Amino acid sequence: MHIIFHNGILSTLKKVTLINGINLLFVLPTFAVCLHEKTPLQQGECYEKQGNTNLAQAAYERAILEDTNSSMARLKLAELYNSLEMKAQSNLLLSDVNEKQLTPQQRTSLAALQQDTHDALSTLRLKAIASIGYDSNININPIDDTILTTTGDQLNSIFSRVTVDVSYLHDLSEVGGWFLRGDGNFYYQDNFSAHDYDVLYGRIYAGGGYRNETFSLYIPLYYDRLNYLNRDLLQESGLRPDLNIELSSTLILDLNAMYSARRYIQSADQIRDDDLMGAGLGLFWLDEDNLAYLKARFVNYSARAEIAPDFTNKELYYLMIGGVYSLTDTIDLYGDYQFRFGDFEPTVNGHRQDGNHDMKVAVEYTLTHSFRLRGQYRYLYNDSNFDPAKYQKSETIFGLVYNY
């Protein structure tokens, strides 16, 4: 966590706190109830509800003086500065807020505050990663290993990869709480010694939602397309509603569902067309610097054709655990583990069942406000009672991350 207050600013905050401390003596009978709050941050929220911006400002400033790493106190004070038309002071506070400490609703508030608009608020976020790596088993599709997984000789390759994630949010302030949002995810991988397995993939989301202090609902439509195995292979479209509920200041519950139609583009592959339906839930824990999550998901794949290839009809069950740990101000550690159980419709060849393990560890080092270095190792192992479906795969990646 960076400390943005240099000596001059700290001195100014101390002086403002003392001045407002004097004001406190005169208004004590009206606002004494707020003094029973345990922390300066809670006192500031209490004063704001009472409508006393001077005392709220003083309380938030005391919270920052007591804990210079408190992003929540910075965000609250920045919101107050913004409402008082103190744009410069608000922007200074926002420049070093650690978003990992904030709830989804607070991240939305942060994004909104970083825009200098009046009638409507719009935010644009972009994350791009350029990397180079080594894959020990390039035969396995890195996007979805259930798509036309090959069973030939195992190939390895050095590769280059580019991923881009972009998100646009438009807040409809005239109808408070409602918003429009669009997202895009793009992925390209060039395998130096196995170009048949190059991947080009893109997905776009567009939808709207509603949020308040306790929950956020987003209902997007989406469309994606995959070019793989030297052909324009697959397209998918569907609906993915998502609900976030703030259980406490540190716990977020996520509920989501999905319905989609997957359609293969080449006529020779269209017998594999299927429909997907699923649901999931997740619990996210956030403290001052770190994040942890536990998620579960179920997806049913149903073939469109009456006579479909083996293993088209299936049910997949996911359990995921992971998190982010801030080791220092500039180093973050990431860890993720996913277990997937696959139950496939019985065929004349038997009843196939898979157990898939996907483990990932990564470290990121901050170079500047916008750029980070990233190193990542990933190991996958698929165990199955159907021998051709068994595989192992590892990836080692080094890259440069850009955030806008």
Which residue segments constitute the domains of the chain, with CATH numbers given?
7-97 (1.25.40), 122-403 (2.40.160.40)
Nearest C-alpha neighbor of 398 from the set 365, 359, 370, 358 = 365
Note the pTM of the prediction, 2 decimals.
0.72
pLDDT band at 348 (very low <50, low <70, confident <90, very high): confident
Residue 63's SS3 state is helix
Nearest C-alpha neighbor of 273 from the set 239, 232, 233, 241 = 233
Which helix (H) or strand (E) segment holds residue 42: the answer is: helix 40-50
DSSP 311: T
Nearest C-alpha neighbor of 162 from the set 131, 138, 193, 196 = 131
Tell me what the mean pLDDT of segment 258-273 comes to: 94
In angstroms, the Cα distances linking 305 to 133, 251, 265, 313, 348 are 39, 44, 15, 10, 18
DSSP notation for 106-136: HHHHHHHHTS--SS-EEEEEEEEEEEEEEES
Average pLDDT of the chain to the nearest whole number = 82
Which helix (H) or strand (E) segment holds residue 348: the answer is: none
DSSP 36: G
Q: At 90, phi and psi to the nearest 5?
A: -65, -45
Exposure string of 56-90, with b = 16+ CB inside 10 Å and e = fewer, is bbbbbbbbbbebbbbbbbbbbbbbbbbeeebeebb
Rounded (to 5) percent helix, strand, coil in the chain: 25, 50, 25
pLDDT band at 287 (very low <50, low <70, confident <90, very high): confident
pLDDT band at 65 (very low <50, low <70, confident <90, very high): confident
CB 318 within 8 A of CB 278: no
Predicted pLDDT at 1:
33
Tell me what the mean pLDDT of segment 230-238 comes to: 94
C-alpha to C-alpha distance for 247 and 178, rounded to whole angstroms: 21
Residue 25's SS3 state is helix
Nearest C-alpha neighbor of 207 from the set 173, 234, 243 = 243
pLDDT band at 39 (very low <50, low <70, confident <90, very high): confident
Query: What is the chain's length?
Result: 404
Nearest C-alpha neighbor of 288 from the set 95, 69, 40, 96 = 69
DSSP 346: P
Neighbours of 276 (CB within 10 A): 16
Residue 152's SS3 state is coil
